Amino acid sequence: MLLPPYVFENRRDRVKASLPDGAVAIVAAHAEVVRSRDSDYPFRQSSDFWYLTGFTEPDAVLILQHGVPDRLVVRPNDPAAEVWTGRRLGPERVRSRLGIPDAHPLNALDALMDEALANADRVEYPFDCIRSTRLAEAAFQRVRGQGRKRQLLSHRVDLGLTLHRHRQVKSPEEIDLMRKAGQISARGHLAAMRQVEPGMTEDQLASIVEHSFRMDGSPSVAYQTIVGGGENACILHYVDRSDRLRSGDLVLIDAGCEWGGYAGDITRTFPVNGQFSGAQRELYDIVLAAQTAALADVRPGLSIRAYHETAIRVLTQGLLDLKILTGTLADAIETKAYLPYYMHGTGHLLGLDVHDVGFYEDNGSPIALQPGMVVTVEPGLYISQHSDAPARYRGIGIRIEDDVVVTTTGHEVLSGDVPKDPDAIEVLMKDRC
């Protein structure tokens, strides 16, 4: 656990402060998922549950109520099972390790849920969590009496509405973890720039990035690493990675590690042979200019939508300058003529989830950025082989992505340890051994 127990206690207290009297909050850990017969996917804790407990074992359940000690239900110690699948904390050590006062084994879960619901008049759980939803629904089914059951069913509330507002603004401790995620992620990209060679597969280059993450102590990637050479860079979430990298092509790497549960999310695009061609450089300069302009708009009071519009203006002007688009800037923006070449947003919230929870709009108006929000800034241009663009630009995909925390006066880039200036990239790649 990289944060002390009081941090999680404060978060639980904040959730309870938003619960009306008579409400119960239920937040479940994830369960393991089978990959193939007896083999499971690597376990990743539910972000909401992690945020409130710091506990990374599967199957546990957190129950919060006013006037009742916070309650955690966990897998029991079981020496025979632990020989096969690893150590378990067990209920006896929950208080000393996690600072949660009341712990029980899983076989007590149904009775504890029934007891919590017995006098409740409102039940809150994150509606986007399948296991929390199933546990709550199962408990409703056990309630005796149609009237009482209907009363509870009609007082279900999405805990995400408050919890995700809390998660949307990061505390100084969280920002420290995200700074480290940014640093480790950046080093992985640096390793790729230094070690890439024509003829290598995309997957081999991904393994260099991920090896660096792991050697720096990160237990996991935050999402599947994207490595796309040449036109594969035009596939936004390309995870196939089976092609060989060719001299003369660019390669796009979108990769981030996880640190303390928090995601890094960095994209860099660079030449496989260390030198940009003329056409690659022309497009790259436009994307970099768009990113620079968008970054300047990351400050309190502006919004993700505002810096998206800034990026669109710069990208669209660039497409006009290169004669990939024709007409006026105003028309091209109005008709969204840029969409075949730029089809995604310029940023998203970042945190325990790579596309983090939180709110982008309130009644149709964009939510203003505020200090502690962490966002990405990631414009790109994707000129498919099948596009109408001049032939020299076809088959080139470029994205540049950084992670940025909003500060009181502007922002701090968390992922700046890997170059994006094209001259700096060429120098770095020339000097590599």
Of the candidate residues 9, 70, 231, 254, the single one contacting ligand GLY (CB under 6 A): 254
Q: Which residues pair with 411 in a beta bridge?
A: 406
Contact (CB, 8 A) for 221 and 265 = no
Is 213 near ligand GLY (CB under 6 A)? no
d(CA 128, CA 126): 5
How far does the chain reach from its first CA to its final CA, in angstroms?
A: 38
Q: Which is nearer to ligand GLY, 15 or 252 (CB)?
A: 252
Tokens of 268: 């860099």
Q: Which is nearer to ligand GLY, 210 or 265 (CB)?
A: 265
Binding partner selected for residue 322 from ligand GLY, Mn ion, none, CB under the kind-specific 5 to 8 Å limit:
none
Binding partner selected for residue 403 from Mn ion, ligand GLY, none, CB under the kind-specific 5 to 8 Å limit:
none
Class of residue 195 by CB neighbours under 10 A (exposed 0-12, middle 13-18, buried 19+): middle
Which is catalytic among the residues 210, 231, 258, 378? Answer: 378
Q: Is 378 a catalytic residue?
A: yes
Residue span binding Mn ion (CB under 5 A) among the ranges 11-19, 119-127, 252-260, 413-421? 252-260
Is 210 near ligand GLY (CB under 6 A)? no
Of the candidate residues 88, 376, 377, 395, the single one contacting Mn ion (CB under 5 A): 376
How many residues contact Mn ion, by CB under 5 A? 4
d(CA 361, CA 345): 14
For tokens 């200036």, the residue is: 421
Q: What DSSP state is assigned to residue 91?
A: G
Binding partner selected for residue 356 from ligand GLY, Mn ion, none, CB under the kind-specific 5 to 8 Å limit:
none
Exposure string for 353-369, b = 16+ CB within 10 A, e = fewer: bbebbbeeeeeeebbeb
Q: Which is nearer to Mn ion, 70 or 401 (CB)?
A: 401
- Backbone CA torsion sign across 319, 325, 330, 336: negative
Residues 6 or more apart from 418 whose CB is under 8 A from it?
Answer: 186, 187, 189, 190, 193, 266, 268
How many residues are there in the chain?
433
CB of 378 to ligand GLY, least distance (A): 6
Is 265 near Mn ion (CB under 5 A)? yes
Of the candidate residues 223, 276, 284, 338, the single one contacting ligand GLY (CB under 6 A): 223
Binding partner selected for residue 223 from Mn ion, ligand GLY, none, CB under the kind-specific 5 to 8 Å limit:
ligand GLY
CB of 233 to ligand GLY, least distance (A): 13
Is 254 near Mn ion (CB under 5 A)? yes
Which is catalytic among the residues 165, 305, 344, 394? Answer: 344
Q: Is 173 a catalytic residue?
A: no
Which is catalytic among the residues 9, 70, 231, 254? Answer: 254
Binding partner selected for residue 249 from Mn ion, ligand GLY, none, CB under the kind-specific 5 to 8 Å limit:
none
Binding track over 162-181 against ligand GLY, x by CB under 6 A: --------------------
DSSP string, 281-325: HHHHHHHHHHHHHHHHT-STT--HHHHHHHHHHHHHHHHHHTTSS
Tell me the residue number closest to ligand GLY, measured at CB: 254
Is 378 near ligand GLY (CB under 6 A)? yes
Q: Which is nearer to ligand GLY, 210 or 254 (CB)?
A: 254
Q: What DSSP state is assigned to residue 247?
A: T
Helix axes 5-18 and 160-168, enclosed angle (nearest 10): 130
| Rg (alpha carbons) of the chain, rounded to whole number | 24
d(CA 24, CA 30): 20
Q: Is 344 a catalytic residue?
A: yes
Chain residues in the site for ligand GLY (CB under 6 A): 223, 254, 265, 348, 354, 378, 401
Task: Please give the residue ranges that form the binding site for Mn ion (CB under 5 A).
Answer: 254, 265, 376, 401
List, by residue number, the catalytic residues.
38, 237, 254, 265, 344, 348, 355, 378, 382, 399, 401
